[in-house]
Amino acid sequence: MDVEHQLVPALEQIETVLTPLLQLWVVAVLGRRRSLKFFWVFVLYLIADVVRTAALWLLGGSASATIYRIAWIYSEPCMLFLHVLLVWELIRLLYKAYPGIHSFAKIVISIAVVASLLVTVFSAPFDIHRATTNESDHMLLQLFQTERVLDFMLALLIVVIVGLFPSSRYDGKRIRRHGFLLSALFASAGATFLAINYGFNSDITGVVALGVQLVLYFLWVRVFLAPEPERVPPPSPEEVLRTEQLNEAFLFLARWLSR
């Protein structure tokens, strides 16, 4: 038990230092590739997360500190807003030629946001193994529940949207990989908050979550450092027709959801 108590904080400290460094490495790679303007929301998210991490640890020094929790609670809604913007940026880049996808995505993202708020407001008391001791703990758990629903729904939306994109299009391969990594990031965040809500050890859960993030940011570096894909011949008339049919299908679904 003593080994666990010493190992978990040490791993947390190491991962807390490495994560911002990898995030800044991703930004540097995007700058080297002259892609900052294309992924500007992603860059904003990475920089905001680096600044926030540094501020939180300067304020509290530990996730168990009260000032750390309070600062996290009031800054997390801004990060959630950036999560939504990240999905919108991904769809804009991937389907810039197909406005029907934009209409569908806007409606589904709105549904995800509303659903996460409704689940938090109207759900039964949290099924956790420890009671909240004060108002900040109660707000913290509410925020965990909101984020887990929203992140899971956004992750699912990304998988559907990116998975349906024609993989033969040379200009979409890197963006598709970025999308799948983004989906994995959201899904891991949702799973982390779900585990904490249901009573798993928050320190160990946090260490695992940070470890997953480290792997994902390293994969982002590899994706953006990879050579530019070779250009392929223009899509065939059949591929164009299939893409147009997909566009029409999304437009129809968007109209149906909006009624």
Per-residue model confidence as pLDDT tens digits over 196-209? 767 677 778 878 88
The per-residue pLDDT for 124 is: 45
The per-residue pLDDT for 131 is: 45
Q: How many residues does the chain have?
A: 259
Q: Which residues contact 247 (CB under 8 A, 6 or more apart)?
A: 98, 99, 100, 101
Give the mean model confidence (pLDDT) for residues 19-32: 95
Structure tokens at 40: 């500007």
pLDDT of residue 157 exceeding 60: yes
Contact 175, 104 (CB under 8 A): no
Give the mean model confidence (pLDDT) for residues 184-206: 81
Give the mean pLDDT of the chain: 77
The per-residue pLDDT for 145 is: 77
pLDDT per residue over 158-181, tens digit each? Answer: 888 887 766 555 456 888 899 999
Instruction: State the Cα–Cα distance between residues 224 and 169, nearest whole angstrom.
Output: 17
Tell me whether residue 204 is in a domain.
Answer: yes
Tokens 């108590």 label which residue? 5
b/e burial code for range 64-76 (CB count within 10 A of at least 16 → b): eeeebbebbeeeb
Tell me whether residue 7 is in a domain.
Answer: no
- What is the span of the domain harbouring residue 233? 77-258
Tell me whether residue 33 is in a domain.
Answer: no
Tell me whether residue 6 is in a domain.
Answer: no
Tell me whether residue 147 is in a domain.
Answer: yes
Structure tokens at 237: 């008339």
Tell me whether residue 58 is in a domain.
Answer: no
**51-65, 110-124, 153-167: the lowest-pLDDT one:** 110-124
Q: Per the structure, how many domains does the chain have?
A: 1
The per-residue pLDDT for 130 is: 46
Contact 168, 143 (CB under 8 A): no
Q: What is the pTM of this model?
A: 0.81
Tell me whether residue 235 is in a domain.
Answer: yes
Tell me whether residue 44 is in a domain.
Answer: no
Instruction: State the Cα–Cα distance between residues 163 and 175, nearest whole angstrom.
Output: 11
The per-residue pLDDT for 29 is: 96
pLDDT of residue 103 exceeding 80: no
**26-35, 90-99, 247-256: the lowest-pLDDT one:** 247-256
